[in-house]
């Protein structure tokens, strides 16, 4: 109770819904931190619209068959419902596509954190042989041949089509894809009745009994760190994922090897696959049948967002821009 009123006071003190600095998106769904916008790539409505168009455009791939959305499909949680994805010529990668919802809040990108910014990240799939396999100079030529793109790049950057601006526009679009305001978020922000009894019990299992919160820490449910949880053929440290709208993003884990959330709960319950390097927090939990049901219910219903961005919709308040 003390804690809750403290956070309420902090909330009231916070300058709600106003951008106090030029380089944050402050109008985010309840439960999320402000989204940092890097110097040199301010959000504008024109740029976000351009980024959206680029994201859905298969011209970004060598044979014009694959867009970013081919692997990050809004209908499949901005991810894919298969373990791995197919790129040009049906070439397959080895990892489960990450959902790009709330990706603007990540401290590093990819399952192994190898990219630091969304601008830098976008260069990889465009050029990756098993994804879009596109040459950047060819991409510039192709887009510059389209008069509508030329106009949009002028509006967004007061300049020509360049590969760097392609990634800047896509990144600006991605920063608007936010979802939260789950029962869990409402509860944490003082709405005492937002979670029903089973959700509260499930959240107790999550944060106390099963210690999931050791790594999936409030509020975005990640510590932004890397751990070996025993998934995959060889020991490797993987970034702790954020956990929201999980029902939309099956299968789970970096290799897509766990098909359902029930499989995930069972996997943690047995302590993961024992091997050298396994994180010490992975241990058999001995959850009862009802504890598992409660945990599952929390993961599904307790973390279900109120407004989930679709293909066309601007995600709630997140469409707000901070252009000068």
Residues at the interface with ligand HEC (CB under 6 A)? 60, 66, 68, 70-72, 85, 87, 93, 95, 97-98, 100, 103, 106, 109-111, 118, 121-122, 125-126, 131-132, 170, 174, 206, 210-212, 214-216, 227, 229, 231-232, 238, 240-241, 243, 246, 249, 252-254, 264, 268, 279, 281-282
d(CA 137, CA 149): 16
Concatenated DSSP letters of 282-318? -------HHHHHHHHHIIIIIT--SS---SSS--GGG
Nearer to ligand HEC, 25 or 212 (CB): 212
Nearer to ligand HEC, 38 or 93 (CB): 93
d(CA 237, CA 217): 17
Q: How far is the CB of 37 from ligand HEC (least distance, A)?
A: 15
- 212 known member of a binding site: yes
Q: How far is the CB of 129 from ligand HEC (least distance, A)?
A: 10
Q: How far is the CB of 103 from ligand HEC (least distance, A)?
A: 4
Single out the residue of 47, 10, 31 nearest to residue 324, CA to CA.
47
Nearer to ligand HEC, 4 or 219 (CB): 219
Nearer to ligand HEC, 236 or 319 (CB): 236
Single out the residue of 79, 65, 134, 133 nearest to residue 111, CA to CA.
79
d(CA 190, CA 265): 28
Nearer to ligand HEC, 36 or 216 (CB): 216
- 72 known member of a binding site: yes
Q: How far is the CB of 258 from ligand HEC (least distance, A)?
A: 7
Joined together, the tokens standing for residue 240 give 């702790």
- 68 known member of a binding site: yes
**Residue 40 Rama label (left phi>0; alpha psi -120 to 50; beta):** left
Single out the residue of 54, 276, 312, 92 nearest to residue 172, CA to CA.
54
Say how far residue 120 (Cα) sits from the centre of its chain: 16
Q: How far is the CB of 18 from ligand HEC (least distance, A)?
A: 27
- 224 known member of a binding site: no
Residues making up the annotated binding site are 68, 71-72, 212, 215-216
Residues making up the annotated binding site for heme c are 68, 71-72, 212, 215-216
């Amino acid at each position: 109770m003390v804690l809750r009123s403290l956070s309420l006071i902090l909330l009231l003190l916070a300058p709600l819904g106003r951008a106090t600095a030029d380089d944050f998106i402050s109008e985010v769904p309840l439960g999320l931190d402000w989204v940092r916008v890097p110097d040199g790539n301010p959000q504008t409505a024109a740029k976000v619209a351009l980024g959206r168009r680029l994201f859905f455009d298969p011209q970004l791939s060598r044979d014009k068959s694959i867009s970013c959305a081919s692997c990050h499909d809004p209908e499949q949680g901005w991810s894919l419902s298969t373990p791995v994805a197919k790129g040009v010529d049906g070439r397959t990668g080895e990892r489960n596509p990450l959902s790009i919802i709330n990706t603007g809040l990540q401290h590093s990108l990819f399952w192994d954190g190898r990219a630091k910014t969304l601008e830098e990240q976008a260069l990889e799939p465009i050029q990756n042989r098993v994804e879009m396999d596109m040459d950047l100079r060819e991409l510039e030529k192709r887009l510059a041949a389209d008069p509508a793109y030329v106009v949009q790049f002028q509006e967004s950057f007061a300049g020509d089509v360049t590969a760097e601006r392609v990634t800047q526009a896509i990144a600006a679009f991605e920063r608007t894809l936010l979802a939260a305001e789950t029962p869990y978020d409402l509860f944490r922000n003082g709405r005492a009745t937002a979670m029903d009894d089973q959700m509260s019990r499930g959240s107790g299992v999550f944060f106390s009994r099963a210690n999931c919160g050791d790594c999936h820490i409030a509020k975005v449910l990640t510590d932004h760190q890397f751990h070996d949880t025993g998934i995959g053929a060889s020991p490797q440290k993987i970034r702790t994922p954020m956990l929201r709208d999980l029902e939309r993003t099956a299968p789970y884990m970096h290799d897509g090897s766990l098909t359902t959330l029930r499989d995930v709960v069972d996997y943690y319950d047995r302590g993961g696959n024992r091997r050298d390097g396994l994180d010490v927090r992975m241990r058999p939990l001995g959850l009862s049948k009802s504890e598992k049901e409660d945990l599952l219910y929390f993961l599904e219903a307790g973390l279900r967002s109120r407004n989930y961005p679709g293909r066309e919709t601007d995600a709630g308040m997140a469409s707000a821009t901070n252009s000068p």
